[in-house]
Amino acid sequence: MKKLLLVVVMLIGCITTQAQKKISVEVSAGVTYPMKEQLGDKEVGPAFALEGRYNVGGGLDVGLQAYYGDVLNSYGSSKVHHKSIAGLAVADYNIGLASSFTPFIGAGVGYGGFIESYKDAEEKTKGMHYMARIGVEHKSHVRLTLYGRMGKEHFASYGVSIGYAF
């Protein structure tokens, strides 16, 4: 009985270790910057994402991402917020699978909301979100990502984020 229990515990440990290598959850924070010139000045805004990925094999990861970003412009002392809240299907290809640093390239497509707010006025709409990204991952945990996000015209942005994958 003790041997059987030991074998079961060892199998659970192996399965857990394998699952950790195949599945990861990343929490990231960063900044956005508007792609297009608008009236007023471009400003840096916040961005946050939560992403779950599954390693299919051969360097390919697929997953889902929940994203929030605020593309900012200022007009004098007032700010115009262009907020994007989206769910995206994402895929990354890890190039080289080096032991310490692994470069990757990826893309995502999804759907969500766009909220434009200025002073007390707010306009909401929904639509498609598109994302392209490149970056580097350190030991399968820390990721530095450069990305471009497109959707509605004034919501398009460039960004950089740093994330940690569990």
d(CA 127, CA 69): 15
User: Residue 73 has what pLDDT?
Assistant: 86
Tell whether pTM > 0.85: no
The two structure tokens encoding residue 52: 């779950």
Q: Give, rounded to a whole angstrom, the gap between the first and last alpha carbons of the chain.
A: 34
Beta bridge partners of 122: 117
**Domain at 23-165: CATH architecture:** Beta Barrel (2.40)
The structure tokens listed for 77 are 């002392």
CB 106 within 8 A of CB 93: yes
How far lies 72's CA from each of 44, 90, 150, in Å?
6, 25, 15
pLDDT tens digits along 33-83: 998 877 678 899 999 999 999 999 988 999 999 999 999 988 778 888 999
Please state, in angstroms and rounded to a whole number, the distance separating the CA atoms of residues 84 and 65.
13
Residue 19 pLDDT > 50: no
Phi-psi region of 163 (alpha: psi -120 to 50; beta: other; left: phi over 0): beta
Task: Tell me the C-alpha distance between 103 and 115, whole Å.
Answer: 33
Q: Is the pLDDT of residue 12 over 50?
A: no
